[in-house]
Structure 1
Amino acid sequence: MMKVEAEVSLYPLTEESLEHPVMDFSDVLKSHGCEVEIGPMSSIVKGESPQVFEALRLGYEQAAQKSGCVLIIKACNVCPL
């Protein structure tokens, strides 16, 4: 398996507060075994490639069902892991 590190930014467009949507998104990632570091502008997600991308898909789908949103992903397989 290939390890990846991704920088992700979730922007809920129709929510007044960003905290709850971002924390809910992070909880989905963590529940799928990803390591998550939340920063002020983006989060770092680490794990095995299939695990990370499946968790990102599920997290995005959950966020999109609650609010219009944008998800930006930059993924790397050679970043410091």
Structure 2
Amino acid sequence: AVHIRGLFEDRLITIPKDDKIRDDLHSVKKVVTSGGNVRYVAPETDDGHADRFWALALAAHAGRTKWQSGKVTPFKIKY
């Protein structure tokens, strides 16, 4: 989820003109637990649980990794 913010700030991805996608992207909030851990949460609605946001986050993560022998290995790419 952290990587998505950087992509938006660097204008490498833009928010499409689709209300459902925009609502999902804006619904995710950063929460710091009492133990100091960071979590990203979104309210569950009839339309899902920020599913479009998480799909984007997974796609961005997949674009930053390569697969080798069943292991995910991060690598640096230039956008």
Task: Work out which structure has the larger RCO, using CA pairs closer than 8 Å and 6 or more positions apart in sequence.
Answer: 1
TM-score, with structure 1 as normaliser:
0.37
Which structure: larger Rg?
Answer: 2
